[in-house]
């Protein structure tokens, strides 16, 4: 089936000319000085990216399928650990993939990447709150984009494990120096990329996938995922009182531009700076399809995840109950009650907690900015806490930190 036929099958695109977007367009014009609304040609490009996979990684996934047993995975691991040149007569698909990922683009700025990693650690557990209860929850509102998670059962039946695996990936790629060729961030980015390609191939071969949803884990949705970790991450933190300089915001966008490059997102759709990122975010929201029953199932499962992490004690269960309500409150505060209803989340006055604590947070942020040693200490504490908690959570949930795809579909 050719790409044009696939585009013709698309029904997942929302009404990008709906009236509810006018307010966002006005705000964008006010802050950035131009209209982010996509024209006809840009909409055609968006549709094309919704049916596009990742040519290099897809070829590696096919190589895995062609080779016996786990031989393909072993070759990938050998290339990651010791370089593609360590393999005698490596498969061409693997050579092509490593030709791309081993080439660091000229635009990569390592000072910006270091700054972005420090920002990621400085915000502590608030970063996890935003990634889980804004970025991930918000992604579920687009029913089609969430379908791969439903078909593989990854965030409705194994929520704690998959959250920990995602956390491990985030830790790896946001560690200062972690994207160097011999470090875990680089390796995790490539492993997740190949895992996505394997899942994409599995879904397309299953005959259960509806191309009305676009290609599984397509280029447009992959770019949107980069936004979840960058501009949405920053927006969510700023909504509860965190302060970031222009330099820091640009650094975070830059970090995830490079991570997106390693993960196979086309360079031409990767946001280059903050205004570019916000324009891309507007277009993702403008073209998002309606939430559906799967959106609600995923939303409820994610909202209930504190209970799945809790111990079987009165104190732990009560703490999980409080945590659940606060997290739901944050989602309703930042995404709004309409979105909360679409995600199947209960109404709660806990949403007022988050704006109420902003003055205290802003005060602490002003103090941090005035005392450089305090800023440094927060980075160190964030790094230490993350390093101590990650192995515990991995062991507790039996998380797979090698990012091997599921072998069977859940639907």
Largest CA distance in the chain: 62
Distances (CA, A) of 237 to 24, 124, 135, 398: 19, 11, 11, 30
Residue 237 near residue 130 (C-beta atoms within 8 A): yes
Beta strands in 285-357 (DSSP E): none
Cβ within 8 Å of residue 267, ≥6 positions away: 105, 261
The two tokens of residue 61 are 């996934």
Of 77, 266, 259, 260, the C-alpha closest to 173 is: 259
What is the chain's pLDDT, residue by residue, as a tens digit (411 residues)? 455 568 988 999 999 999 999 998 999 999 889 899 999 999 999 999 999 999 999 999 999 999 999 999 999 999 999 999 999 999 999 999 999 999 999 999 999 999 999 999 999 999 999 999 999 999 999 989 999 999 988 666 678 889 999 999 999 999 999 999 999 999 999 999 999 999 999 999 998 999 999 999 999 999 999 999 999 999 999 999 999 999 999 999 999 999 999 999 999 999 999 999 999 999 999 999 889 999 999 999 999 999 989 999 999 999 999 999 999 999 999 999 999 999 999 999 999 999 999 999 999 999 999 999 999 999 999 999 988 988 889 988 888 889 998 888 888
Instruction: State the Cα–Cα distance between residues 179 and 183, nearest whole angstrom.
Output: 6
Residue 256 near residue 226 (C-beta atoms within 8 A): yes
The two tokens of residue 299 are 């939303």
DSSP 8-state secondary structure symbol assigned to residue 176: T
Instruction: State the Cα–Cα distance between residues 249 and 231, nearest whole angstrom.
Output: 8
Distances (CA, A) of 109 to 255, 271, 272, 299, 384: 9, 15, 12, 37, 25
Of 307, 37, 76, the C-alpha closest to 189 is: 76
Sign, CA dihedral 112-118-120-122, equals: negative
Catalogue the long-range contacts made by 136-139 (C-beta closer than 8 Å, 24 or more residues apart).
136/228, 136/302, 137/299, 137/302, 137/331, 137/335, 137/343, 138/228, 138/232, 138/335, 138/339, 139/224, 139/225, 139/228
The two tokens of residue 34 are 């131009």
User: Cβ–Cβ contacts within 10 Å for residue 192, how many?
Assistant: 21
Residue 143 near residue 342 (C-beta atoms within 8 A): no
Residue 179 near residue 189 (C-beta atoms within 8 A): yes
Cβ within 8 Å of residue 192, ≥6 positions away: 169, 263, 403
pLDDT recorded at residue 96: 98
Q: Could you please report the per-residue DSSP string of 100-160?
A: HHTS--TT--HHHHHHHHHHHHHTTHHHHHHIIIIIIHHHHTSTTTTHHHHHHTTTTTSHH
Of 312, 308, 311, the C-alpha closest to 327 is: 308
pTM for this model (two decimals): 0.96
């Amino acid at each position: 089936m050719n790409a044009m036929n696939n585009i013709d099958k698309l029904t997942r695109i929302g009404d990008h000319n709906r009236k509810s977007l006018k307010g966002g367009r006005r705000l964008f014009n006010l802050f950035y000085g131009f209209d982010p609304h996509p024209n006809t040609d840009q909409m055609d490009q968006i549709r094309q990216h919704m049916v596009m996979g990742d040519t290099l990684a897809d070829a590696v996934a096919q190589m895995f399928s062609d080779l016996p047993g786990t031989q393909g995975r072993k070759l990938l691991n050998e290339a990651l650990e010791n370089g593609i040149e360590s393999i005698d007569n490596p498969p061409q698909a693997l050579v092509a993939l490593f030709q791309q990922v081993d080439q660091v683009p000229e635009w990569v700025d390592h000072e910006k990447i270091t700054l972005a990693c420090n920002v990621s650690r400085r915000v502590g557990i608030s970063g996890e709150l935003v990634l889980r209860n804004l970025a991930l929850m918000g992604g579920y509102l687009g029913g089609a984009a969430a379908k791969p998670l439903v078909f593989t059962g990854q965030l409705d039946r194994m929520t704690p494990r998959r959250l920990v695996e995602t956390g491990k990936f985030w830790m790896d790629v946001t560690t200062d120096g972690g994207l160097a060729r011999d470090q875990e961030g680089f390796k995790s980015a490539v492993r997740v990329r190949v895992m996505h390609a394997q899942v994409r191939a599995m879904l397309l071969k299953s005959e259960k996938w509806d191309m009305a949803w676009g290609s599984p884990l397509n280029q447009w949705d992959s770019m949107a995922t980069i936004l979840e970790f960058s501009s949405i991450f920053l927006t969510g933190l700023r909504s509860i009182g965190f302060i970031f300089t222009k330099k820091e915001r640009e650094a975070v966008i830059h970090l995830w531009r490079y991570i997106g490059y390693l993960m196979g997102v086309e360079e031409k759709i990767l946001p280059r700076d903050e205004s570019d990122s916000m324009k891309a975010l507007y277009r993702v929201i403008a073209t998002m399809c309606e939430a559906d029953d799967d959106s609600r199932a995923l939303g409820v499962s994610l909202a209930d995840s504190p209970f799945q992490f809790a111990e079987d004690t009165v104190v732990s269960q009560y703490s999980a109950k409080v945590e659940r309500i606060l997290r739901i409150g944050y989602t309703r505060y930042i995404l709004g009650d309409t979105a909360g209803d679409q995600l199947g989340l209960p109404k709660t006055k806990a949403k007022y907690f988050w704006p109420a604590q902003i003055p205290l947070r802003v005060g602490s942020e002003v103090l941090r900015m005035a005392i450089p040693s305090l800023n440094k200490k927060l980075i160190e504490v964030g790094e230490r806490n993350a390093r101590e908690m990650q192995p515990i959570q991995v062991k507790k949930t039996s998380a797979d930190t090698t990012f091997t795809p599921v072998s069977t579909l859940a639907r």
